[in-house]
Amino acid sequence: MNIDKKTRLFIILGGFFIANALVAEFIGSKLFSLESSLGLKPIDITLFGIEHLSFNLTCGVLLWPMVFVMTDIINEYYGKQGVKLLSYLAAGLIAYTFVMVYLAMKTHPFDLWENSGQSVQIGSMQVAYNKVFGQGLWIIIGSLVAFLIGQMLDVWVFHWIKLKSGEKYLWLRSTGSTLISQLVDSFVVLIIAFYIGNNWPLKLVLAVGIVNYIYKFTVAMALTPVLYILHNRIDKYLGIEQAQQMTKSAAQED
């Protein structure tokens, strides 16, 4: 099969984008302590009267920054339509995967498998399986809605900054759009999943959202050099002339 470089690159970027989004959804069921994982003493923050806050995050945050980096790279070369296509496809596949996992959870376990966990002090493999893979409906809805809103906002801010600044300042349009979209994403998912779905007090939602965003802000800034590395590699792969033609075409979508 003869696939041109432009199409091959879109398939590679799109595949990596969707894989990261899917994996982030499912590893997000685990909470971890960032400070303890780094061998540091947990910080102790008080916000809105909520005490003893620290960087206790879902494992999904390990991958979501890369999803937004890929969004900006795809946006740079393939424009709004490329990002929208992959975002809708990723959201659809995430929803489909949740349905398949739900059906798997409802199947009756084979006795040998069900009892196999007893040797490692797991009473019921079925209960453990459902506990790991099962997520509340409001969490699923919140994560999907936040993902789509964050992606669309990222696209809009990216192109708005590019319209104002031109081809220069890749770091500004990429990092700026990521910081704004992740700010909204952080609070939308918490409001839907926990304020609406689990009756969390609003001040707790705001406090946790701010702590989460501090982490996302820091990681987004740290990943800025990755944008330039990817941009440089892609330009070399496509050839400067074709790369410039693609970025110009993507910018003209406005």
pTM, two decimals, is 0.87
Amino acid present at 138? W
254 in a domain, yes or no? Answer: no
129-132's contacts with Cβ under 8 Å and 24+ in sequence apart are 129/105, 130/105, 132/29
Q: What is the pLDDT of residues 24-55, one digit of tens each?
A: 888 888 888 999 999 989 888 898 888 888 99
| Residue tagged 């393939």 (tokens) | 78
Amino acid present at 150? G
**pLDDT recorded at residue 162:** 84
From first CA to last CA, the distance across the chain in angstroms is: 34
The domain in which residue 145 lies consists of 5-249
Split into its structural domains, the chain has a count of 1
pLDDT higher than threshold 90 for residue 66: no
Report the chain's mean pLDDT, rounded to a whole number.
88
